[in-house]
Amino acid sequence: MLGKKLVTAQKRGETRALCLGLGMVACSTMMYFFIGITIVPFYTKSVWTTETVCKVLKANIKDKVLCPNSEGSEDEDIFPYPCLQVWVNLTASGQEVMLYQTEDTLERNPKCSYVPGKSENMKEVKARIETIASNFKKYQTFPCYYDPGGTQTNVILSRLYPPKGLLFAFLWPTLMFTGGCLIIVLVKISQYVSVLSAWQ
């Protein structure tokens, strides 16, 4: 009787462990799919792939401009803010080009180097932009990214999804997938050893 109870408990434990492993594999697969349709297209779409050194030529704050968001956005999402324009000397080619914060900044407003997020406190937005402008004037040289193919003549300060960020995004689903596969393999080994022991 005790032996039957032990065998039953062992089978229940193996079933739960197997379900856990399969669940981890399924979740990691869904995470791979989600990353593949969200982050990977933005990474492959970016043409600013080569890092170089930029030197600030001028950083000016123009009059307030409207922040145009994507098409179909509501009017209340459009707000005025000071337009910061940063021009740099591209070391790789020696050209004078405009600097943008990220790829998204160029798409949201190609006239400004920095586009703030939606904020109802205009004083904070103005103070932040003035701080950014003063930092550019203070730190004249810094790394930036440009398009080696020449499709885009401007440069960006940082990439939304750099290679390290992409690898980090794939790290957790990979660990989960590996852990799930390891649990499944251990359960199968345990079942095989149990059947072999019973047969002997």
Q: Which phi and psi angles does 144 have, rounded to 5°? A: -150, 175
What is the tens place of the pLDDT at every residue in 139-184? 889 999 998 887 888 999 998 888 888 888 899 999 999 999 999 9
How would you class 187 by CB atoms within 10 Å of its CB: exposed for 0-12, middle for 13-18, buried for 19 or more? buried
How would you class 138 by CB atoms within 10 Å of its CB: exposed for 0-12, middle for 13-18, buried for 19 or more? exposed
Q: Is the pLDDT of residue 119 over 70?
A: no
The residue-averaged pLDDT of 112-133 equals 82
Q: Which phi and psi angles does 48 have, rounded to 5°? A: -85, 85
Query: Up-side HSE of residue 26: CA atoms within 13 Å toward CB?
Result: 6
Q: Is the pLDDT of residue 9 over 60?
A: no
Question: What percent of the chain is modeled with pLDDT above 70?
Answer: 84
Sequence-distant (≥ 6) Cβ neighbours of residue 110 within 8 angstroms? none
Q: Is the pLDDT of residue 82 over 70?
A: yes
pLDDT at 68: 52
Q: Is the pLDDT of residue 185 over 80?
A: yes
Alpha-carbon distance values, 76 to 72, 103, 120, 122, 189 (Å): 12, 24, 11, 15, 61
Range of lowest pLDDT (25-29, 30-34, 46-50) = 46-50
